[in-house]
Chain A
Amino acid sequence: MYLIAEFFRQLVEDYPRWNFIWMYEPVQQEKVLSGIWMTIQLSVACLFFSVIIGIIGAFLQGSRNAIVRMVVQGYIQFFRNTPPYVQLLFFYFALGQFTPTYSPDGWLEVPIISNVGWAIISLSFFAGAFNVEIFRAGIEAVPESTREAASSLGFSRAQTFRYIVFPLAVRVSLPALNNNLVNLVKTTTQAFGIAVPELLYQSVTIWNDYPSALYPTMLLVFVVYIVLVGVLVMSMNGWERQMRIPGYGL
């Protein structure tokens, strides 16, 4: 470890624009690591909730109640047709004003939803709107006749959805879902705008303090995202392979 740190200390002596400061200075290193960890947490939480929103939304879109369908449609239109960054600012600065606060010590006023909380909510709803449409396309790809077969065997509407339509729809949806989730992971960088200490936020503080660390830190951000998205895509592809049905087109 000491040798590696020494190598990068020497590197900046020889090439002043290539200051890999977080390779030898513990404070900066801590920033980078906590930034990466925050990005991972943010991504996992948003992936999870956006998929849940997608499933629930797609199920509600098939509702017999026109008002329910209209609400889902309105949600999709709003979140799909407006920029995610604006949504994030709106959630944090506008809605954040109205959330209740609590006081841990009698002086401070701390809102019950933190900026991290708002980032998760906002980005989940943003990606969720796309997921609803993705799952809807998958659901529509399940032939009506397959549904009829289930209902003629006595399945209820909910059972037909859960055991027949949904498992088939997921398989159809996976490639498009894959795409959207990749975008979601990258969109988490916008949480920077409401001071969520994720990787980009931490990186900017580093290169503001140490302009000589600009190139190496930008390089780091690219590499981290390439790896994170790579892991996501690999696991999604593995899931796709695992779900493949022998003799079936998908």
Chain B
Amino acid sequence: MVSWTEKDPIVSIKDVHKSFGALEVLKGVSLDVMKGEVICIIGPSGSGKSTLIRCINALNDIQGGSIHVRGIDLTDPHLNKLELRKKVGMVFQQYNLFPHKTAIENVMMAPLLVLKEDENEVRARARDLMKKVRLEEKENAYPGELSGGQQQRVAIARSLAMSPDIMLFDEVTAALDPETVKEVLVTIKDLAQDGMTCILVTHEMGFAREIADHIYFTDNGVIVEHGPPETFFTKAKDPRTKDFLSQIL
């Protein structure tokens, strides 16, 4: 394992290429994320933004370039995916909770089975996390009995239970109705303010502007433009970015 210090980027992506068969989805993407930073990736559908963050926890492999997460080289053929996934939490658009387990069991499962931690400690921590996502009264509900927003907050708690260093959010509010979007965004904002490194793919421009340290705009497999939110939203230079922002804002 390569040595990693807090001065180095916690996620370092260099010239990444990714194809699905003949379709090249990422055509040389590079970006660095420092510890504690909040990064938002925006862009039209099919621009490769979800693929990019799925590459960060090795759900997708890459065909070219390199990705390092806390010094772990993801292109290493002997990559220990378990080590990587202990460090990287991921939340999905469709929540993907385990439907046969109650909310708190969903949160407890990975620490019990993967980290083999003590059940009482895990339960105590899971309770704290349920409180953190404001669902302490729903501990014993099954996912099917929860609203979309509640399920998504359980999914966030489930990822946090592994005490990751980095959280990936893949369009986590895209399947929610406008009222419940807010409760999920508040949860993510709390996390960001606690210093969690967050990488979000999102269509919530207002939210991105509010919490992001840096915004990346992807189109057609490349990063077209990036910058801090103040300049990104007001002084975009690239015509495609301008066009996209004018349709959305």
Contact = CB atoms under 8 A, between A and B. Distances in A.
Contact of A168 (B82, B85, B100, B159): B100
A151 B99 CA distance: 16
Contacts of B100: 167-168, 171, 245, 248
Contacts of B92: 145, 148-149
Which of A153, A163, A249 is packed against the most chain B CB atoms within 10 Å?
A: A153
A14 B166 CA distance: 89
Interface in A147-164: 148-156, 159, 163-164
Interface residues of B, number: 31
Interface in B137-156: 141-146, 155
Interface residues of A, number: 23
Determine the main DSSP class of A at the interface with B: helix
A150 to B, nearest CB: 8
A146 interface: yes
A148 B96 contact: yes
Interface string B86-121: 101110101011111000000001100111000000
Contact of A153 (B99, B142, B144, B159): B159
Given A149-B96, A153-B109, A248 B142 contact: yes
A245 B99 contact: yes
Interface string B66-91: 00000000000000011001101110
Nearest to B146: A247
A245 B90 CA distance: 25
Contacts of B114: 153-155, 159
Given A146-B98, A154-B82, A159-B114, A247 B145 contact: yes
A246 interface: yes
A246 B142 CA distance: 6
Contacts of B155: 149
A146 B88 CA distance: 17
A249 B86 CA distance: 32
A156 B116 CA distance: 13
A182 B110 CA distance: 38
Nearest to A168: B100
Contacts of A146: 96, 98-99
Which of B57, B86, B96, B145 is packed against the most chain A CB atoms within 10 Å?
A: B96
Nearest to B88: A152
Interface string A160-202: 0001100110010000000000000000000000000000000
A242 to B, nearest CB: 12
A154 B96 contact: no
Interface string B153-193: 00100110010000000000000000000000000000000
Given A148-B59, A248-B100, A154 B142 contact: no
Interface in A36-65: none
Interface string A205-247: 0000000000000000000000000000000000000000111
B109 A245 contact: no
Contacts of B145: 246-247
Given A146-B96, A152-B90, A167-B100, A246 B144 contact: yes
Nearest to B143: A247
Contacts of A168: 99-100
Smallest CB-CB A-B distances: 8 pairs:
A247-B144, A149-B96, A247-B145, A153-B110, A154-B114, A154-B85, A248-B144, A152-B90
15 contacts: A145-B96, A149-B90, A150-B98, A152-B57, A154-B82, A154-B115, A156-B82, A159-B113, A163-B109, A164-B98, A167-B100, A168-B100, A247-B141, A247-B145, A248-B144
Interface of B: 57, 59, 81-82, 85-86, 88-90, 92, 94, 96-100, 109-110, 113-115, 141-146, 155, 158-159, 162
